[in-house]
Amino acid sequence: MATPITPFPRVKHQREVFADGLMLDCGVHIAPLAVAYRTYGRLNADRSNAILVCHALTGDQYLAETQPLTGKGGWWGNLIGPGKRVDTDRFFVICVNVLGGCMGSTGPAEPRNGVDGDPWGTDFPAITIRDMVRAQKRLVDHFGIARLLAVVGGSMGGMQVLEWAATYPEAVFAAAPIACATHHSAQNIAFHEVGRAAIHNDPDWKGGRYWEDGRVPAQGLAVARMIAHITYLSEAALTRKFGRRLRGAPSLTFLEDVFEVESYLRHQGSSFVRRFDANSYLTITRAMDYFDLAAEYGGELRAAFQGTNTRFLVASFSSDWLFPTAQSRDIVRALNAAAANVSFVEIASDKGHDAFLLEEPDFYAALGGFLVGAAERVGV
Amino acid sequence: MATPITPFPRVKHQREVFADGLMLDCGVHIAPLAVAYRTYGRLNADRSNAILVCHALTGDQYLAETQPLTGKGGWWGNLIGPGKRVDTDRFFVICVNVLGGCMGSTGPAEPRNGVDGDPWGTDFPAITIRDMVRAQKRLVDHFGIARLLAVVGGSMGGMQVLEWAATYPEAVFAAAPIACATHHSAQNIAFHEVGRAAIHNDPDWKGGRYWEDGRVPAQGLAVARMIAHITYLSEAALTRKFGRRLRGAPSLTFLEDVFEVESYLRHQGSSFVRRFDANSYLTITRAMDYFDLAAEYGGELRAAFQGTNTRFLVASFSSDWLFPTAQSRDIVRALNAAAANVSFVEIASDKGHDAFLLEEPDFYAALGGFLVGAAERVGV
């Protein structure tokens, strides 16, 4: 049963368009390349105070301001802003919608020619985390920033941080990969694959050409979001939030939502489809699945960081079972093996993977302190 | 895109039909009540050697023989049989298809009148784990067995074991609830709900009346199975089985299965729909979600076991994250609080929840020893 919903509205996003395009890891050259972004604070005279923040799978560039589709505050609005832990009176913060995203950067939902007409749809080539980073580098170069004070991000954002540090070590003074890993595990791939199967199965997906009817595969995308959402929360967080509480009368039925956790998940699913493109979700989940930093360096993870001068803060959350602490320790071990400057913190939290998006005082203090320390070192 | 497949064939199962039916927890009386079952070994003269084995969500009564739909061996065929750890030369083993199931017992796929005509479909009432146990009790009574030597089961089977011990303490000499819990957690409910949403979203589900067209909601049911299957395996088991291995050439694409774990999951999904009924899946997952033994006893778990003379073996598996060891410890604590005779073992295994179905020597030894000890105590 298809649910007719309005496809998410097209918003005019701030962006740079690079006519010469980008060569991708898959060997396809795409042109033009549009890079949508938002900045907060001011770039100083010697261009030394720039912090690039990389967003996660379903995040976007509206980091510290109202998101135009949802009307909700920015996803790190509590952390970043004037006078906040990451103080935009001091730092120039850049956030880029990832390549393959659906908030203005080149991706499946964007017109193929960058201006109007049919979107890329399923013709959009497969991309990698490194391709996302290359697109961001174009914007950083455009700003005339030779070296970023820091690159910061959680989850898929953390994968981008690792890729930045490996690919452009001279351009990254400090790097904070948070709640992430050097590769996607078999379990992570499996969860993504089930979400993709749900999208593919939706008759409204129409082999990826859903835009032709002005419809979206809302039910498939919602199920994909529901699955993912469970993996973002810890068992403890779900139990605290909902436990086994019933909605209204505890009637015995096998057809209706009866537990509060069910209607919460359904709400998560249905609100997601109003802000996210299904082909974009397919593209980006695949990019995460492909991510395997060691494989890019001959199977030797430490080779990705050989000779690096970047300072690292690696952070994990104790109840994160999607990117557990052990995976962050693998990053630390590789950095140690490359004799890098690395600090590691596991934040005690029972909120699961989601904790990196929530106001966790210890995390804010660790990340804020790390960035201030880096700033003092370079005289910002 | 619907995949036309033949609905699973109707097999003639061994069963007893009780014309007077059964009163359910939801207040509905269903009649007739069909209870499909298989037995292994022989009931001794004083009817003291009977072991009831309760199956899990997608299991069935074909415990120790070829399953007629899949042609595969029984799900505990390595554990139970002549000369095996649970020796059917000594014990009379009974396994019942659960109420709500689709292998011959009364359920959504069975004709409403128990003989022919339209199936119950979505008119089938909501059932509970206790209802399943009540149906089994009818068969046990029919055999003239006043006291079972043991009731044994894993996962949802373990929930039935707990319910047996609580509801019919005099009829259970020994009980082994394995890899289970006294209630379904919010996370467990959430995973089930996503699976149900996938089934409901399948246009071939047709509000549960799919049988009218001789079709089944194959894609939705397959996605539900895929999700569940991930929860049955540990991260380590998935990594060992598949890791990040690619199928064939590592082509970069976002539309095809590229990792081995993906095609494995798809195979799990598509083979499941050839043996399981979607409405049955909805019914049984709901029964698991409703299960909350303490709630049946005024919120006091130990009250469920007050004064019990049953001997218990509680077993968990170290890498089971669906029913983690902590939940088995909760059972043990409640039994201790009721001054029950209880032994507990956590089996070291990296195979996840699935371990209870696999040949785990320590588990086989613990369960086998427990049953032999019980048998010796009653002189079997």
At B214 the pLDDT is 82
At B286 the pLDDT is 94
| Per-residue 3-state assignment (H helix, E strand, C coil) for chain B | CCCCCCCCCCCCCCEEEECCCEECCCCCEECCEEEEEEEECCCCCCCCCEEEEECCCCCCCCCCCCCCCCCCCCCCCCCEECCCCEECCCCEEEEECCCCCCCCCCCCCCECCCCCCCECHHHCCCCCHHHHHHHHHHHHHHCCCCCEEEEEEECHHHHHHHHHHHHCHHHEEEEEEECCCCECCHHHHHHHHHHHHHHHHCHHHHHHCHHHHCCCCHHHHHHHHHHHHHHHCCHHHHHHHCCCCECCCCCCCCCCCCEHHHHHHHHHHHHHCCCCCHHHHHHHHHHHHHCEHHHHCCCCHHHHHCCCCCEEEEEEECCCCCCCHHHHHHHHHHHHHCCCEEEEEEECCCCHHHHHHCCCHHHHHHHHHHHHHHHHHHCC
Residue B360 lies in a domain: yes
CA-to-CA distance for A210 and A190, rounded, in angstroms?
A: 25
Same domain? For B198 and B342 the reply is: no
Q: Which DSSP helix (H) or strand (E) runs through A296?
A: helix A293-296
Average pLDDT over residues A200-221: 91
The answer, yes or no, to whether residue A273 has pLDDT greater than 70, is yes
Residue B119 lies in a domain: yes
Residue where one domain finishes, among candidates A286, A313, A343: A286
Same domain? For A180 and A195 the reply is: no
Helix, strand, coil percent values for chain A (each to nearest 5): 40, 15, 45
At B59 the pLDDT is 97
Same domain? For B39 and B125 the reply is: yes
Residue B9 lies in a domain: no
Residue where one domain finishes, among candidates A268, A286, A304: A286
pLDDT band at residue A254 using 50, 70 and 90 as cut-offs: low
At B254 the pLDDT is 61
Question: Residue A233, CB half-sphere, CA atoms under 13 Å: how many?
Answer: 22
CATH number, domain of A65, equals 3.40.50.1820
Average pLDDT over residues A334-359: 97
The answer, yes or no, to whether residue A236 has pLDDT greater than 80, is yes
Chain B residues near residue A198 by CB distance under 8 angstroms: 198, 201, 223
Chain A residues near residue B189 by CB distance under 8 angstroms: 244, 259, 261-262
Give the least confident one: A137-151, A157-171, B203-217.
B203-217
Residue A232 lies in a domain: yes
pLDDT in tens, chain B (380 residues): 333 334 556 688 999 999 999 999 999 999 999 999 999 999 999 999 999 999 999 999 999 999 999 999 999 999 999 999 999 999 999 999 999 999 999 999 999 887 788 899 989 999 999 999 999 999 999 999 999 999 999 999 999 999 999 999 999 999 999 999 999 999 999 999 999 999 999 999 999 999 888 889 999 999 999 999 999 999 999 999 888 888 765 566 666 667 888 888 889 888 999 899 999 999 999 999 999 999 999 999 999 999 999 999 999 999 999 999 999 999 999 999 999 999 999 999 999 999 999 999 999 999 999 999 999 999 99
CATH number, domain of B239, equals 1.10.1740.110
Same domain? For B161 and B249 the reply is: no
CA-to-CA distance for A158 and A150, rounded, in angstroms?
A: 12
Residue B7 lies in a domain: no
Residue where one domain finishes, among candidates A233, A256, A286: A286
Residues A225-234 pLDDT 10s: 999 999 999 9
Q: Which of A52-56, A109-113, A197-201 has the highest mean pLDDT?
A: A52-56
Domain limits for position A280: 188-286
Same domain? For B59 and B144 the reply is: yes
The answer, yes or no, to whether residue A3 has pLDDT greater than 60, is no
* Closest chain A C-alpha to B229 CA, distance in angstroms: 10
At A113 the pLDDT is 84
At A250 the pLDDT is 56
Nearest to B186 among A189, A244, A286 (CB): A244
In total, how many domains does chain B have?
Answer: 2
Average pLDDT over residues A239-266: 78
Same domain? For A110 and A35 the reply is: yes
3-state secondary structure of A133: helix
Q: Which residue has the tokens 């490359």?
A: A338
At B247 the pLDDT is 76
Are the C-beta atoms of residues A262 and A237 closer than 8 Å to each other?
no
Q: Which of A194, A260, A277, A289 would best serve as a mutation to test chain B binding (most B beta carbons within 10 A)?
A: A194
At B242 the pLDDT is 87
Q: Which DSSP helix (H) or strand (E) runs through A311?
A: strand A311-317
Residue B132 lies in a domain: yes
At A7 the pLDDT is 52
Chain B residues near residue A254 by CB distance under 8 angstroms: 122, 124, 126-127, 282-283, 286
Same domain? For A277 and A322 the reply is: no
Q: Is A354 annotated as a binding residue?
A: yes
Same domain? For B30 and B55 the reply is: yes
Q: Which of A231, A254, A296 would best serve as a mutation to test chain B binding (most B beta carbons within 10 A)?
A: A254
Average pLDDT over residues A76-103: 97
Residue B333 lies in a domain: yes
Same domain? For B166 and B238 the reply is: no
Same domain? For B171 and B226 the reply is: no
At B165 the pLDDT is 98
Same domain? For B23 and B131 the reply is: yes
Average pLDDT over residues A91-100: 98
Are the C-beta atoms of residues B48 and B149 closer than 8 Å to each other?
yes
CA-to-CA distance for B338 and B169, rounded, in angstroms?
A: 13
CB distance from A341 to chain B under 8 Å?
Answer: no
Same domain? For A79 and A141 the reply is: yes
3-state secondary structure of A53: strand
Nearest by Cα to A72 from A349, A357, A364, A322: A357
Residue A260 lies in a domain: yes
